[in-house]
Amino acid sequence: MKTLANAMTTTLQKIQAKANIIMASQEMRDRHVGSLVVIRQGELMRDQEEEIIGLITETDIIRKVVADERDLKTTSVDTVMTSPMITVEGSWPIEDAFDMMKESGVRHLLVTKNQVVVGLVSLRDLIAHLQED
């Protein structure tokens, strides 16, 4: 049985919450990805911890920015990102995650191990692994 741990991407492509949509679009283009994990740094200068607060996807940009004719330079990622993210354990069977995506209407899931984010899986990733069988 294949699990999400077999299908997930372990290198999370990240962007700061206050980055604008142009920056997010350029990052996606340059990294050849369709989504970025949105992070917020700790509130204090000495606090270097990152907090994952959402995900911005190409679909978010099309539906929430372009279609609404928002300004690409002044619209920040955190105003149009998908949040909260759905998280699932890496031990989940791929088929169960696929069903959850269909039911929830999402195309990305954060993958956790012991409640710590360890990866990201997209609908495209799941379909590729299901086709291998």
Q: What confidence score (pLDDT) does residue 133 get?
A: 61
- Domain residue ranges of the chain, discontinuous segments joined by +: 4-132
pTM: 0.86
Q: Are 89 and 111 in contact, with CB atoms under 8 Å apart? A: yes
Q: Are 12 and 33 in contact, with CB atoms under 8 Å apart? A: no
CA distance 125 to 4: 9
Structural tokens at position 127? 């379909």
Question: Could you list the pLDDT tens digit for every one of the 133 residues in the chain?
Answer: 789 999 999 999 999 999 999 999 999 999 999 999 999 976 554 556 788 999 999 999 999 999 999 999 999 999 999 998 899 999 999 999 999 999 999 999 999 998 889 999 999 999 888 787 6
The yes or no reply on domain 4-132 and CATH 3.40.630.40 is no
Q: Are 56 and 75 in contact, with CB atoms under 8 Å apart? A: no
Q: With residue 79 as reference, give the H or E element that holds it.
A: helix 77-80
Structural tokens at position 133? 């069988």
Q: What confidence score (pLDDT) does residue 46 get?
A: 54
Q: What confidence score (pLDDT) does residue 129 get?
A: 84
Q: What confidence score (pLDDT) does residue 43 get?
A: 59
Q: What confidence score (pLDDT) does residue 50 get?
A: 81
Residue 62 DSSP code = I
